[in-house]
Amino acid sequence: MKRLEFCALPPATGITRPDYEQVERVTLDSPALKVMTDLKRVKVVTTSPQVSLNNVHEHMIHNGVRMVLVTDAQQHVIGLLTATDLLGPRPLLVSRENSIPHDQLRVEHIMTPARKVQALKYSDVTHADVGEIVNTLRDAERQHALVIDSDGDGERVRGIFSISQIERQLGTHLEPTHASHNLAELEHELSG
């Protein structure tokens, strides 16, 4: 039987990385599904509610995400946690209000519980364009949106919209929600 030959690893050998620059370019008129992370194709990053904030932060960095779904033992979504939740004032406030040392805070202390999470319906998303998703996220002042779909077992998170992903695919930076979208809007705000 034939065998392959080993060779010496050359000095200063690099590592091949995923080519994140090869994202599909879209316009505001493109179908919204082109910018949705489809969980039928991409594995979602999850965490447990008992994980420490330091560990979940490392987990998010390692996976290159700014949001994780928090799941129970049955893999039901019980909340979500964003980088803003993790790195913003929430941990300090929870630590003070509940007399919990910061290094003992866990995901469950600062996550947004599922009952407070709003999602978009997949059936609506299939008929929307990128511009409508951008406007929806801006109006809600959100960086992410979950998309839910029904299957034989009930409701499931089917996808995720992320402003940063949409920006990459549009090839442009989207102004924050409070910024005027164009000159006409700015003139209207100034005259009002």
Looking up residue 43, the CATH number of its domain turns out to be: 3.10.580.10
Separation of alpha carbons 149 and 130, rounded Å? 19
Of 144, 142, 141, 148, the residue nearest 125 (C-alpha)? 148
Domain assignment present for residue 49? The answer is: yes
Domain assignment present for residue 124? The answer is: yes
Domain assignment present for residue 11? The answer is: no
pLDDT value for 158: 94
The yes-or-no verdict on residue 21 having pLDDT over 90 is: no
pLDDT value for 52: 96
Domain assignment present for residue 158? The answer is: yes
pLDDT value for 192: 46
Separation of alpha carbons 71 and 114, rounded Å? 10
Q: Residue 12's CB: how many other CB atoms inside 10 A?
A: 5
Domain assignment present for residue 15? The answer is: no
As for how many domains the chain has, the answer is 1
**Range(s) of the domain holding residue 65:** 32-191
The yes-or-no verdict on residue 41 having pLDDT over 50 is: yes
Say how many CA atoms lie within 13 Å of 51 toward its Cβ: 22
Domain assignment present for residue 143? The answer is: yes
Of the two residues 192 and 119, the one the predictor is more confident about is 119
